[in-house]
Structure 1
Amino acid sequence: MHGPFNRMGRRKPMNEINVVPFIDVMLVLLVIFMITAPMLTQGVEVDLPQTASQPIEDDEDRDPIIVSVDREGEYFVSLGGDETQVSLDELSERVIILLERHPTTRVLVRGDRNVSYGQVVTLMSTLQTAGVSNVGLISEPPPGES
């Protein structure tokens, strides 16, 4: 008799593994990660002004220090994805400490378009007092430009 049964009617052991359940589990995990990955991006919601400008050439491997001001006028310091809310006095101290460790680290400012000009100027003055001589401003390109 041919097939998976022998003479006694018992099944012979199969020599192959059924991978269909593994594929099902992997597809479910893929869908879960595709849904949750965009939710993991964190940061301060800042509505950047849009302007046409040339991108800054990045010649360093080190992440820049990014100082953000959100629409409520609160300050945040970010280095390598770690974002911390700080007061203006703490901001100065924190930037001084970061620059003592790596003096060539670039400092960039992200200011919400709805924040008053005075707050951005105060922020830049505080950075200058902390010893930052060159500050870059982050903006977004206008719609239609890349």
Structure 2
Amino acid sequence: MARAHRAKRRPMSEINVVPYIDVMLVLLVIFMVTAPLLYQGVDVDLPQADAEPLSQDEQDPIIVTVNRDGDLMVSIGTDPDEPVSADEVTDLVSRVMRNNPGTPVLVRGDEQVRYGLVLDTMAMLQRAGVPQVGLMTRPPSDDG
């Protein structure tokens, strides 16, 4: 005598899409907030020095960055702003130097990092087969 209760079937035109719109709006806000964070570079305060700028007719240099925490980043590879180990830097640079020995290599060290760490990085690059390693600086400010 008891009948099984059957749920009423709604026609396809009555699907409630409000929850989907809410999810899409939340995802849109998340992407809008995180997208600018993905394109920021490594923050390095270069020391000031009176130096000649490199000529623009040379090929693009390999830039090895030492940030204030002592992390190493290299401008070649998958993500130039991702810290890598010293072994990975040595491997990447030595491969480039074997294929293109004239590639300039520069060290971009934060002015707050220990001087010895920059020297260790330069020595590591020379062991990787780099004949000359340059240092990046920023021009001195005019306010003296």
- TM-score of the pair, normalised by structure 1: 0.65
Is the alpha carbon distance of 1:41 and 1:50 closer, same or farther for their aligned partners in structure 2, counting shifts above 3 Å? farther
Residue segments in structure 1 that go unaligned for 5+ positions in a row:
1-37
Which contiguous aligned blocks of 4+ residues in structure 1 show a shift greater than 6 angstroms? none
Note the residue ranges of structure 2 that are not aligned, 5 or more in a row: 1-35
* Aligned 8 A contact 2:94 2:129 in 1: yes
Distance apart, 1:42 and its partner CA: 3.0
1:78 and 2:106 correspond: no
| Structure 1 position 66 matched with structure 2 position 68 | no
- Superposed, 1:1-146 pairs within 5 Å as 41-60=39-58, 62-79=59-76, 82-83=79-80, 84-144=82-142
Residue deviations 1:64-99, cap 9 Å, x none? 100000000000000399504211111111101122
Partner of 1:16: none
**Structure ranking higher in strand proportion:** 1
CA RMSD of aligned residues (A): 2.4
- In structure 2, the residue corresponding to 1:86 is in which secondary structure? coil
Separation (CA, whole Å) in 2 of partners of 1:52 and 1:81: 33
Q: Deviations over 1:84-136 (max 9, x none)?
A: 42111111111011222222111011000000011001000000100101111
Number of equivalent positions: 108
